[in-house]
Chain A
Amino acid sequence: MNSDKITKIVLFSVSFIILIVAGGMVFSLVGGAIPAFKTFGLGFITSTHWDPTHGQEEYGALPFIAGTLITSFLALLISFPLSFATSLFLGEYYRNTRVAKILGTMVDLLAGIPSIVYGLWGFYVLRPFLISIGFENQGFGVLTSSLVLAIMIIPYATSLSSEIISMVPNDLKEAAYSLGSTRYEVILHVTVPAARSGIFAGYILAFGRALGETMAVTMLIGNRNIIPNSLFSTGNTMASVIANQFGEASGLKLSALISIGLLLFVITGIVNWIGKLIIKKMS
């Protein structure tokens, strides 16, 4: 009996560690962000001015927030037809076949490629290709980074969606077939509506993943602190500015970067939470 009690205590206390880490994170981020917010107030979020020169420091996060949201959203848009088609391939048309297994493995591998490798490939392969078909700005910019980002998030959206699609009950589909529907019509009118929330949740989670992506985007977005005004414009994201400017940051600059980290944390947290809520609602 005694050992059972001890076991219970150990289990409980060790699980506390993760709570402490998470709580500590929030605490440190907020604490580190306070100086910046104190100095610039809410203007921090709306200002586009970023000047680290000593003596006239001023920091505003809007370009980065815009850059992050725009690239992630664009990536989602670009990846949508590709990952939707792939999830239909894996979960509906070729479910349980050898081809699907191979394709599934290949898509899984996409998720395993490190971000920096995507960045290198984007820089040395994709960019020259885009320049050759007429991109400006040396091929850097929002569209380029969104393209690579889209490839990176496809596996996340696909794996969840294909699973949900494959779980649509057979009898629902059979009912539609017996009424003379074509496969396309069954997918359109039965399968997709039934799997709707799962598919949606998959994209929300993919979006959350895109928001936090650092290396690949840093290498392709051009790193200019402006709000992008076109697809081909360069810009910057929250994650990349932290990575790039962290160097010997201290004092107010460090606090500004931490604030951006806090914003990133909050935004990704909310997006992921919404995704998980939808998944929970389904089961």
Chain B
Amino acid sequence: MNNNILQIKDPILSIQNLSVAYDKNVAVKDVSVGIKKNTVTAIMGPSGCGKSTLLRVLNRMHELYENIQTTGTVLLNGEDIFKMSPIKLRRKTGMVFQRPNPFPTMSIYDNVIAGYKLNGISQKKAVRDEIVERSLRDVVLWDEVKDSLNKKGTFLSGGQQQRLCIARALAFNPEIILLDEPTSALDPVATSRIEDLLIKLKENYTIVMVTHNMSQAARISDYSLFMYLGELVEYGKTKNMFTNPQDRRTEEYLTGKFG
């Protein structure tokens, strides 16, 4: 039992002994951790440490790839995610990717409610309008695009596109938002706007974010996971981890001894 893993009471997401392997390579080794509700949790670590794999297990996107075996449990609000329908799970979790990826053939409006539309869920126009406005306001994009809702999203800047993608993920009112290095393709100004956004969003959502940018983790996360070669080395309040890392490997990573 790793003493460097903070125990969380009543976690919204409880990962228990999770291991993931592709063919013979073990990407995630026996990770057990609890994520606290309405916080920003950062997953850090050098390349190849398994952080992206771990993130993708949380909405079972890892199943898109062949030859992948998982053992262990993940409970979302007490429910085993492997026992529920992946579609149901993915509506409870929203995902944002490294490169902004609005659907190029759809307008901004349609992008935001894509989750509903493509699922064949039809709603009254008033309901749809309300969802779109709410989501766009949540990501502070409404004022910038409210007059161009019917235009395709490709004219927006990188940062705006990424906020659109976040809005798209929020439309379902998910409980957890998963972000995979959401700002690594953006310029510093756009990055800081998204960071501010995430801090604001944690009031209503739980944010789990993979980042390879330590300072970003230090800036905005409440809790941090440090992974190394598939293992969860340390987990705790970000402030504590950065000022007083318990594990030698954590300290070496944070002081830049390896990337």
Contact = CB atoms under 8 A, between A and B. Distances in A.
Judge A-B direct contact (beta carbons within 8 Å): yes
B72 interface: no
A159 to B, nearest CB: 29
Size range of the chain B interface in the assembly? under 10
Size range of the chain A interface in the assembly? under 10
A226 B86 CA distance: 69
A6 interface: no
B122 interface: no
A1 B82 CA distance: 12
Interface in A176-190: none
B92 to A, nearest CB: 16
Interface string B38-49: 000000000000
B85 interface: yes
A1 B60 CA distance: 12
Interface string A1-24: 100000000000000000000000
Interface string B78-117: 0000000111000000000000000000000000000000
Interface in B207-255: none
A142 B161 CA distance: 64
A1 B87 CA distance: 7
Interface of B is mostly: helix
Contacts of A1: 85-87
A33 B4 CA distance: 77
Interface in A195-252: none
Contacts of B85: 1
Contacts of B86: 1
Nearest to A1: B85
A1 to B, nearest CB: 6
Interface in A1-52: 1
Interface string B189-223: 00000000000000000000000000000000000
B128 to A, nearest CB: 23
Nearest to B86: A1
Nearest to A3: B87
Nearest to B85: A1
A229 B86 CA distance: 72
A59 B85 CA distance: 66
Nearest to B88: A1
A181 to B, nearest CB: 42
B216 to A, nearest CB: 35
Interface in A116-137: none
Interface in B128-156: none
B170 to A, nearest CB: 25
A1 B85 CA distance: 7
Nearest to B84: A1
Interface string A40-71: 00000000000000000000000000000000
A1 B63 CA distance: 12
A1 B90 CA distance: 12
A1 B83 CA distance: 12
A6 to B, nearest CB: 14
Interface in B11-53: none
Nearest to B87: A1
A97 B87 CA distance: 50
A1 B84 CA distance: 10
Contacts of B87: 1
A3 to B, nearest CB: 9
A1 B89 CA distance: 12
Interface in B61-89: 85-87
A71 B178 CA distance: 65
A255 B81 CA distance: 63
A39 B89 CA distance: 68
B82 to A, nearest CB: 12
B36 to A, nearest CB: 30
A11 to B, nearest CB: 15
A12 B72 CA distance: 32
B80 to A, nearest CB: 15
A137 B186 CA distance: 74
A256 B25 CA distance: 58
Interface in A82-103: none
A80 B87 CA distance: 57
A240 B213 CA distance: 70
A119 B188 CA distance: 65
A24 to B, nearest CB: 31
A102 to B, nearest CB: 31
Nearest to A2: B85
A63 B256 CA distance: 78
B88 to A, nearest CB: 10
3 contacts: A1-B85, A1-B86, A1-B87
Shortest 3 CB-CB distances between A and B: which pairs?
A: A1-B85, A1-B86, A1-B87
